[in-house]
């Protein structure tokens, strides 16, 4: 129930949900206070325009992604932990599990293993039944890791965790059972600030190994590169709206997890 409510209740605080709520308010006001309808409509339009332009989107995303960029080469560790949220289940017509937008997590984890950064890879992630069920994310990740060269004996799985807090709790149990003392934590750069604090709160010696960066220097420079680029960066864009929403979800998740004492 907590997982369902944590996904449902904040929806109307995110740009698209908030804009829809304001439009409903405008519809209701049109019956009794038609002179004021322009106010919620203008607010809804402002929300969508602001959160889908380059400057706002890049600023919010970079505020998260820039927090744990490694300053030096990553050190050796006892295991590489890859957090879920990177795969889609092998439902027809997919022939096998697919990588989604966060699939860089699996690829980067495999790269670190092949570079000899750690002898084990821990794939951590279950699958929420009301989101389609199917094989656990850890199973999907393990399958893909094997395809790209990680031997099965080097892969450990946590197939039951449904959020980042459970990731940390279950990984800590695996570490205690296996005598693992230090891990490289692989997740999307935007998710890393919250994930790292949760793992550290569990007493895990975790070294951040972020990947899946959405904002690079190129994205920061592009809006100022020409008049055409400046105009296009102001116009609404669904990908930027989605990225802004994801960043806001991280801040909302941090608040909720802090209130629950998880970080």
Closest CA to 108 of 214, 213, 209, 243: 209
pLDDT (0 to 100) of residue 130: 55
Q: Does 2 score more than 60 pLDDT?
A: no
Q: pLDDT-derived band of residue 225, with 50, 70 and 90 as boundaries?
A: confident
Whole-number Å distance between alpha carbons of 103 and 98: 8
Tens of pLDDT, residues 34-70? 999 999 999 999 999 999 999 999 999 999 999 999 9
Q: Does 132 score more than 80 pLDDT?
A: no
pLDDT (0 to 100) of residue 201: 96
Q: What is the mean pLDDT of residues 150-178?
A: 97
pLDDT (0 to 100) of residue 223: 82
pLDDT (0 to 100) of residue 224: 81
Region class of 261: left (phi > 0), else alpha (psi between -120 and 50), else beta:
left
Percent of the chain scored above 70 by pLDDT? Answer: 94
Structural domains of the chain in order of their starting residue, each with its CATH number: 2-66+216-259 (no CATH), 75-211 (3.40.50.620)
Q: pLDDT-derived band of residue 4, with 50, 70 and 90 as boundaries?
A: low
Tens of pLDDT, residues 87-129? 998 888 988 889 999 999 999 999 999 999 999 999 999 987 7
Closest CA to 161 of 195, 203, 206, 116: 195
pLDDT (0 to 100) of residue 52: 95
pLDDT (0 to 100) of residue 128: 77
Q: Does 3 score more than 60 pLDDT?
A: no
Q: Does 135 score more than 90 pLDDT?
A: no
Q: Does 182 score more than 70 pLDDT?
A: yes
In this structure, what token pair is assigned to residue 12? 């109307």
Region class of 64: left (phi > 0), else alpha (psi between -120 and 50), else beta:
alpha
pLDDT (0 to 100) of residue 177: 97
Mean pLDDT of the chain: 92
> Which residue's entry shows tokens 């889609």?
88
Selected residue with higher pLDDT from 129 and 2: 129
């Amino acid at each position: 129930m907590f997982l369902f409510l944590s996904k449902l209740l904040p929806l109307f605080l995110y740009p698209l949900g908030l804009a829809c709520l304001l439009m409903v308010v405008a519809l209701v006001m049109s019956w009794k206070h038609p002179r004021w309808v322009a106010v919620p409509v203008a607010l809804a339009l402002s929300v969508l325009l602001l959160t889908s332009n380059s400057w706002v989107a890049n600023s919010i995303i970079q505020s998260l992604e820039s927090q744990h960029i490694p300053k030096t080469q990553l050190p050796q560790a006892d295991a590489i932990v890859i957090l879920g949220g990177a795969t889609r289940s092998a439902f027809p017509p997919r022939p096998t599990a697919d990588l989604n937008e966060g699939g860089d997590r699996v690829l980067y984890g495999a790269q670190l293993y092949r570079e000899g950064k750690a002898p084990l890879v821990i794939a951590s992630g279950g699958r929420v039944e009301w989101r389609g069920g199917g094989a656990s994310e850890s199973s999907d990740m393990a399958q893909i890791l094997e395809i790209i060269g990680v031997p099965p004996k080097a892969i450990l799985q946590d197939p039951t965790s449904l959020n980042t807090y459970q990731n940390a709790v279950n990984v800590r149990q695996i570490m205690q059972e296996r005598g693992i003392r230090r891990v490289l934590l692989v997740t999307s750069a935007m998710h890393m600030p919250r994930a790292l604090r949760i793992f550290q709160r569990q007493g895990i010696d975790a070294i951040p190994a972020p990947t899946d960066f959405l904002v690079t220097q190129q994205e920061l420079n592009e809006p100022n590169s020409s008049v055409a680029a400046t105009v296009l960066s102001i116009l609404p864009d669904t990908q930027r709206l989605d990225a802004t929403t994801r960043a806001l979800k991280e801040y909302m998740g941090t608040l909720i997890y802090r209130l629950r004492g998880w970080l």
